[in-house]
Amino acid sequence: MAAELERFLSRLNAEIRDEADWGMVATYIPELAEVDPQQFGIAVVTADGAIATAGDAERRFSIQSISKVFSLACVLGRIGDQIWARVGREPSGARFDSILLLEREQGRPRNPFINAGAIVTTDELLTGRTPRDALSEIVGFLRAAAEDDDIHIDKSVAASEAESGFRNVALANYLKSYGNLNNPPQMTLGTYFHQCAIEMTCVQLALAGRAIAGLPGAPSVVSAVKARRLNALMMLCGHYDGSGDFAFRVGLPGKSGVGGGILLIAPGRASVAIWSPGLNAYGNSKAGTVAAERLAAHMGWSVFA
């Protein structure tokens, strides 16, 4: 299968580049606004442990909201179901940074993958610890999951978001006003911005997803029950108000980031990372979503069949 998959990925890479339908990079984080949208990479790790890649699969990109899956995994490992007292598990049907939704729900974010929910998750990880320790836990989790210590935070991206992340400042202050933030808003936000600024390649991210995909031989960083729950949340909430469209088109759990990455899970079969920095109207990778759709269709991977 490995050779056939390599051939398919190489064709897919050529098709995506021919079509050149890249979308627009995120501009609200100045450092991300400078990234060339015309890039595409993909890495697929299958159940037999083989890795197939194409395009810019070894180039580092800002994982942004994909980090929310791993910070949640850390919190679930730490306090388990107690986190659900502070954040819900329902799809939002709203933008990832919606203030309206948080106000309507009186400070209990709809799910842990919208910004407000992820800020709460990070706040929980930070409680009783320093930002450095909380960040070490998330980065350490990723390094263990990928079996690769060369995973780091891009401090210039974190600083760039700290300078321009006014909506997140508003969300953190709303959370605090409703009593759903244990730490000072600036401290939680600083930690959250740094977690979003973790850089990885597609190869590293696909390797990090093996445990969530339940692949044989994956490092045991998350239990099977928790992996199932992460997959359910990725399916329903991983692409914000575009989650239904992604489920319809791809049929697999996925988590996007505004840096253009997508972590895609074919449970028991494969862990996939795709990166193309141009975004669609929902803030999810435009060419990346097309690639996910074509890969899943070609391989016959779906959680619905």
Alpha-carbon dihedral 106, 110, 113, 118, rounded to 10 degrees: 30
Q: Is residue 97 close enough to count as binding ligand DON by CB under 6 A?
A: yes
Pick out residues in 137-166 that bind ligand DON (CB under 6 A).
161
The Cα–Cα gap between 191 and 146 comes to 22
- Residues 67-96 touching ligand DON, rule: CB under 6 A, are 96
Show the site string, 204-243: x = touches ligand DON by CB under 6 A, - = not: ----------------------------------------
Tokens at 90, concatenated = 């329902």
Please identify, using beta-carbon distances, which residue of 196 and 212 lies nearer to ligand DON.
196
Residue from 87, 181, 236, 258 that binds ligand DON (CB under 6 A)?
A: 258
Integer CA distances (angstroms), 218 to 58, 144, 146, in order: 20, 10, 9
Among 283, 286, 287, 296, binds ligand DON (CB under 6 A): 283
**Distance in Å, CB of 228 to ligand DON, minimum:** 23
- Residue type at position 278: G
Among 284, 290, 291, 301, binds ligand DON (CB under 6 A): 284
Comparing CB distances to ligand DON, the nearer of 95 and 108 is 95
The string of DSSP letters for 105-156 reads TTT--S-TTSHHHHHHHHHHHHTTS-HHHHHHHHHHHHHHHHT-S--EE-HH
Around 233, how many Cα atoms within 13 Å sit in the side-chain half-sphere?
25
- Smallest distance, Å, CB 8 to ligand DON? 26
> Would you say 192 or 301 has its CB closer to ligand DON?
192
Q: Element (H or E) spanning 169, and its range?
A: helix 166-177
Tell me the closest approach of the beta carbon of residue 285 to ligand DON, in angstroms. Answer: 8
Catalytic residue among 44, 67, 92, 192: 192
CA angle 131, 159, 92 (to 5 degrees): 75
Dmax (CA) for the chain in angstroms is 55
Q: Residue 239 — φ and ψ, nearest 5°?
A: -125, 30
Round to the nearest angstrom and report the end-to-end CA distance of the chain: 20
Our answer to whether residue 285 is catalytic in this structure is: no
Residue 256, exposed/middle/buried by CB under 10 A (0-12, 13-18, 19+)? buried
192 is catalytic: yes
- Residues in region 178-207 near ligand DON by CB under 6 A: 196
- Which token pair is 137? 């836990």
Of 171 and 299, CB closest to ligand DON: 171
Q: Which stretch in 13-21, 87-95, 143-151, 251-259 sits in contact with ligand DON by CB under 6 A?
A: 251-259
Shortest approach of ligand DON to residue 237 CB, angstroms?
A: 11
Q: C-beta of 275: minimal distance to ligand DON in Å?
A: 13
Whether 28 is catalytic is no
Q: Which residues bind ligand DON (CB under 6 A)?
A: 64-65, 96-97, 115, 161, 168, 196, 256-258, 283-284
Catalytic (active-site) positions:
65, 68, 192, 240, 258
